[in-house]
Amino acid sequence: MSDRKLNMKRVRDAMIWLTLIAGISALLFFSIMRKSNAEVKTLVVEIEKINDGEQLISEKEIKQILQLAAGKTITKANIKTLNLRKLEAKLNKDKRIQRADLYFDSKNRLHAHIIQKKPIMRVIEEEGGEYYLDENGKQVPVTRGSAVRVPLVTGIRDTFSLVNTKSDRPSKLKQVFDIMKYVAKDPFLTALIEQAHVEHDSIGDIVLIPKLGREKLIFGDASDIQAKFDNLKIFYRDGMPKLGWSRYKSLNLKYSHQVRGMLANPEHAAKIKPILRDTLTAQLIKKDNK
């Protein structure tokens, strides 16, 4: 093949490719223009549930936030007039939302995908106010019509600030938060603990209230959290089946390598040997069962 014919073939191939590219670009341009000039067909709100289908925020509230932020009804808006990043930022300012993502699909439907914050405790203040704390120590408002089942916390006198849950300063709020954060990661403890209360005496012990049983769990402070709960699990596993589930009015977890139980009825002491009259340790339980 001569050089002239080869060059002509190359030119022809190049022209074909340029024509194809121009055609595809034109199609994309007109498709984008047509899409941007189209109206939003519908708004689809997808909220990731918490626990057993619980919600902090509703689909209706999401739609209201978006409508106020856009200044118009979303489903009648022109696609090109909506600033999705601005709308996302508005949603993310809501303290109940961990993350919001907005996007359009091929059918001009606007999707709002919402990840909610995950509360681990609900604080009831002395003055009557209340709020949740999430797993990151951030405050989450309690709103009417929505509730998440988490342990209640009472007796807190510290004013909330993020510092109280993030720093090493041993405020009562910080200590209870650390305990509840541990509880939230343990299925057994999550099923067990219903409430935490800070005593207002000179010691200021943190007391845990179980969902079942009459005994209070005197936790003390937030030191040795894992060891205290490990001792409690041993007590429930090895002690309670032998000694009875209704004998104690309190279980003290403050002592190293042991659980001390105060009897609800002192007359039961004679039936629990060699356990002392008003105390019970995990070590003695094991010894008694051998």
Each residue of 181-210: pLDDT tens digit?
999 999 999 999 999 999 998 888 999 999
| Distance (Å, whole) CA 220 – CA 198 | 9
Provide the token pair at 222.
């937030």
Does 196 map to a domain? yes
Q: What is the pLDDT along the chain (290 residues), one digit of tens a residue?
A: 555 555 666 666 667 676 667 666 555 554 555 555 688 899 999 999 998 788 999 999 999 999 999 888 888 888 888 999 999 999 999 999 999 999 999 899 999 999 999 999 999 998 888 999 999 999 999 988 788 999 999 999 877 776 566 666 678 999 999 999 999 999 999 999 999 999 998 888 999 999 987 789 999 999 999 999 999 998 888 877 666 667 788 999 998 888 887 877 665 555 554 444 334 454 444 444 44
pLDDT at 96: 96
47 within some domain:
yes
The answer to whether position 135 is within a domain reads: yes
Find the CATH number of the domain harbouring 55: 3.10.20.310
Rounded distance, CA 63 to CA 83, Å? 15
Question: Do 265 and 127 sit in the same domain of this protein?
Answer: yes
List beta partners, residue 110: 43, 104
Q: Looking at the structure, tell me whether residues 211 and 241 fall in a common domain.
A: yes
Nearest-angstrom CA–CA distance, 162 and 157: 15
Is 224 domain-assigned? yes
Three-class secondary structure assignment of the chain: CCHHHHHHHHHHHHHHHHHHHHHHHHHHHHHHHHHHCCECCEEEEEEECECCCECCCCHHHHHHHHHHHHCCCHHHCEHHHCCHHHHHHHHHCCCCEEEEEEEECCCCEEEEEEEECCEEEEEECCCCCEEEEECCCCEEECCCCCCCCCCEEECCCCCCCHHHHHCCCCCHHHHHHHHHHHHHCCHHHHHHEEEEEECCCCCCCEEEEECCCCCEEEEECCCCHHHHHHHHHHHHHHHHHHHCCCCEEEEECCCCCCCEEEECCHHHHHHCCCCCCCCCCHHHHHHHHC
Q: Based on the domain organization, do 67 and 146 belong to the same domain?
A: no
Count of CB atoms situated within 10 Å of the CB of 231: 21
- Identify whether 91 is part of a domain: yes
Count of alpha carbons within 13 angstroms of residue 105, beta-carbon side: 10
> Can you give the pLDDT at residue 275?
45
Q: Which of 116, 142, 164 is the last residue of a domain?
A: 116
pLDDT given at position 81: 86
Together in a domain, 108 and 125? no
Of 136, 147, 129, 135, whose CA–CA distance to 56 is shortest? 147
CB 136 within 8 A of CB 181: no
Q: What is the CATH number of the domain that holds 183?
A: 3.40.50.11690
- Residue 6 included in any domain: no
Kindly state whether residues 104 and 128 are assigned to the same domain. Answer: no
Res 183: pLDDT: 98
Residues 166, 127 share a domain: yes
- Domain membership of residue 67 as a residue range: 42-116
Asked if 119 and 130 count as a contact pair (C-beta separation under 8 A), the reply is: no
How confident is the model at residue 289, as a pLDDT? 44
CA-to-CA separations, 53 to 47, 48, 142, 188, in angstroms, rounded? 10, 8, 17, 20
**What would the two tokens of residue 228 be?**
């205290």
Prediction pTM value: 0.77
pLDDT value of residue 278: 39
User: Which pLDDT does position 284 carry in this prediction?
Assistant: 43
pLDDT at 263: 77
Measure the CA angle with vertex 154, ends 48 and 146; round to 5°.
Answer: 30
Whether 233 is covered by a domain: the verdict is yes
Q: Please report whether residue 207 resides in a domain.
A: yes
Shared-domain flag, residues 213 and 196: yes
Contact 97, 115 (CB under 8 A): yes
> How far from chain centre, in Å, is Cα 258?
32
Q: Whose CA is closest to 151, among 126, 174, 119?
A: 119
Could you say which of 59, 93, 116 is where a domain stops? 116
Same domain assignment for residues 95 and 228: no
Residues 240 and 97 in one domain: no
- Count up the domains in the chain and report the number: 2
166 and 189 co-located in one domain:
yes
Co-location of 132 and 276 in the same domain? yes
Last residue of a domain, one of 101, 116, 131: 116
Q: Do 188 and 273 fall into the same domain? A: yes
